[in-house]
Amino acid sequence: MSNQHSRTDVILIGAGIMSATLGTLLKELAPDWEITVFERLSRPGEESSNEWNNAGTGHASLCELNYTVEQPDGSIDISKAVKVNEEFQVSKQFWSYLVQSKIIENPRDFIAPVPHMSFVQGEQDSAFLKKRYETMSRHPLFQGMEYSEDPDQLREWIPLMMQDRIIKGPIAATRMESGTDVNFGALTRLLFGHLQRKQVNVQYHRHVDDLKRAGDGSWELKVRNLQTGETEYHRAKFVFIGGGGGSLHLLQKSGIPEGKGIGGFPVSGLFMVCKNPEIVTQHHAKVYGKAPVGAPPMSVPHLDTRIIDHERSLLFGPFAGFSPKFLKAGSMLDLFTSVKLHNLLTMLAAGVKNFSLTAYLIQQVMLTKEQRMEALREFIPNARSEDWELIVAGQRVQIIKDTAVGRGTLQFGTEVISAADGSIAALLGASPGASTAVSVMLEVIQRCFPQYLKAWEEKIVEMIPSYGLKLTEHPELIQELHESTARMLGLEAEAVPGQTASVQQEA
């Protein structure tokens, strides 16, 4: 039964970090616009953006080895690392603006300084890390990176990882003091709290079943009230599909040509968590290793200090897994129902090409706790099974599409898909993810509201001083922004390796 009709300027589907960020940006740029949000769950930030569903790494390429690629001539290509870092600088500037304008009161509620490190063993990987360090530390964005092969130095940086370690060959690590741990769930909730105070109409328990273009060029959404079972119809001039893993189905339902030929492949994640304070206080870093051969890039193992609700814990993983669901709270039919006539060949080609990925995921699903502990012991040699529990993280739906590389290529990045007239946009993919939400949502704004950009530019520059500039081409700005964002976000705390001041402070 249809019993409700409404009209609004903007509809955001999904209450994750992406809709939270876009809604907040739009409220600053066009305060009079009416915005409505539909979320199928009971609160914001419950899917991938939830703090326990992702690793909370403020991805700035300070430690992720998969962002830097060794070229056939032996040189290291750092272009992706530079791009991701620039995007994170944009996020930090916007978050600083939110703190400065009291939209967020205490930055410690969502961000904390945690050094980012890369750690490798063996001759080949140590040589790679050294070359990578030499290339990156020359770049103005990565000033301050430290490198060491000295076990004593490593014992100081990562005492828990060095305890009882039998050193058989070369080991090496890099360290960036300026890394962060970000609680994207808390940030999402803070932003939705702000949006509701600004009269944004946020409706929970509402599942968007369908959307189609109305005769007047607006979009009409068919929305199911999951509490009453009633169907409602809502119209908006602009729709953002921020459904995370749920976005692909909605994009397909919109029928826009830009959404044709695209498929999705879900990869689930599992983490091991340790909350034993005796162990947690011995580690203060996010330490990324190298992905095992054949593993997808998002399976790079890492041992992370997490700070959630001002409490510290350690997270290790992710272990990949397979579930056909596109959302953690999704349906077992998600993968099956995403296959359409227009993406069938693309999906089949991807299936044939990614046999080794499928085999890897099956092998990961079959791992016992003891086998997962063995992987953890590469990081913490004396880790005890009783200190660690397994938790299920979020689903990542990787994009599959035909590219210059070939039919049915699996993509590991994020992509904004928008209609030619800018009336609808969707975000697909998962990586680098939440860390780059501000840049990605600015891209949505640039694509969908070009007619307002001139009028909005001054406000955008107030929120993001580097807007429109490539930081790499303005090295003088890098230090200035680094200092101002660190001050505003409370990231200046001196992190002393091992038993750090901040470990003691938070513990």
Interface ranges with ligand FAD (CB under 6 A): 13-19, 38-41, 46-49, 53-57, 59, 184, 207-208, 242-244, 246, 250, 269, 318, 327, 393-394, 396, 427, 430, 432-435
Closest CA to 17 of 187, 258, 158: 187
User: Shortest gap between Cβ of 169 and ligand FAD (angstroms)?
Assistant: 30
Which pairing describes strands 302-308 and 286-288: parallel, antiparallel, or unpaired?
antiparallel
Sheet hosting strand 171-176, strand order edge to edge: 146-148, 171-176, 116-121, 286-288, 302-308, 311-321, 263-274, 389-403, 406-411
Closest CA to 67 of 161, 8, 10, 141: 141
Cβ closest to ligand FAD, residue 50 vs residue 502: 50
Cβ closest to ligand FAD, residue 41 vs residue 442: 41
Strand partners, 236: 8, 219
Which pairing describes strands 231-241 and 111-113: parallel, antiparallel, or unpaired?
unpaired
**136 close to 129: Cβ distance less than 8 angstroms:** no
Instruction: Find the Cα–Cα–Cα–Cα dihedral 212, 213, 215, 221, rounded to 10°.
Output: 50
User: Shortest gap between Cβ of 398 and ligand FAD (angstroms)?
Assistant: 11
Cβ closest to ligand FAD, residue 56 vs residue 301: 56
Which pairing describes strands 263-274 and 231-241: parallel, antiparallel, or unpaired?
unpaired
User: Shortest gap between Cβ of 420 and ligand FAD (angstroms)?
Assistant: 23
User: Shortest gap between Cβ of 181 and ligand FAD (angstroms)?
Assistant: 9
Residues listed for the chain = 507
| Token digits of residue 327 | 């959302």
Which pairing describes strands 116-121 and 286-288: parallel, antiparallel, or unpaired?
parallel
User: Shortest gap between Cβ of 416 and ligand FAD (angstroms)?
Assistant: 11
User: Shortest gap between Cβ of 41 and ligand FAD (angstroms)?
Assistant: 5
Cβ closest to ligand FAD, residue 49 vs residue 346: 49
User: Shortest gap between Cβ of 393 and ligand FAD (angstroms)?
Assistant: 4
| Token digits of residue 225 | 């009230």
* Dihedral class, residue 41 (left if φ above 0, else alpha if ψ from -120 to 50, else beta): beta
- Residue that has been written with the tokens 């990045």 in this structure: 413
**305 close to 279: Cβ distance less than 8 angstroms:** no
User: Shortest gap between Cβ of 18 and ligand FAD (angstroms)?
Assistant: 4
User: Shortest gap between Cβ of 301 and ligand FAD (angstroms)?
Assistant: 12
**319 close to 364: Cβ distance less than 8 angstroms:** yes
Give the whole-angstrom CA distance, residue 175 versus residue 307.
19
Q: CB under 8 Å to 101, separation ≥6 — which residues?
A: none
- Cis amide linkage into residue 318, ω under 30° from 0: yes
Cβ closest to ligand FAD, residue 417 vs residue 427: 427
| Token digits of residue 109 | 């509620």
| Token digits of residue 59 | 């991805």
Cβ closest to ligand FAD, residue 48 vs residue 439: 48
Q: 174-213 burial, b if ≥16 CB within 10 A, otherwise e?
A: bbbbbbbbbbbbbbbbbbbebbeeeebebebebbbeebeb
User: Shortest gap between Cβ of 475 and ligand FAD (angstroms)?
Assistant: 25
- Residue that has been written with the tokens 């409220």 in this structure: 27
Residue sitting closest to ligand FAD (CB): 16
Cβ closest to ligand FAD, residue 321 vs residue 408: 321
Cβ closest to ligand FAD, residue 48 vs residue 178: 48
User: Shortest gap between Cβ of 246 and ligand FAD (angstroms)?
Assistant: 2
Give the whole-angstrom CA distance, residue 108 versus residue 115.
16
Cβ closest to ligand FAD, residue 68 vs residue 299: 299
Cβ closest to ligand FAD, residue 57 vs residue 93: 57
Cβ closest to ligand FAD, residue 147 vs residue 238: 238
Cβ closest to ligand FAD, residue 242 vs residue 289: 242
Give the whole-angstrom CA distance, residue 17 versus residue 36.
16
User: Shortest gap between Cβ of 299 and ligand FAD (angstroms)?
Assistant: 10
Q: CB under 8 Å to 138, separation ≥6 — which residues?
A: none
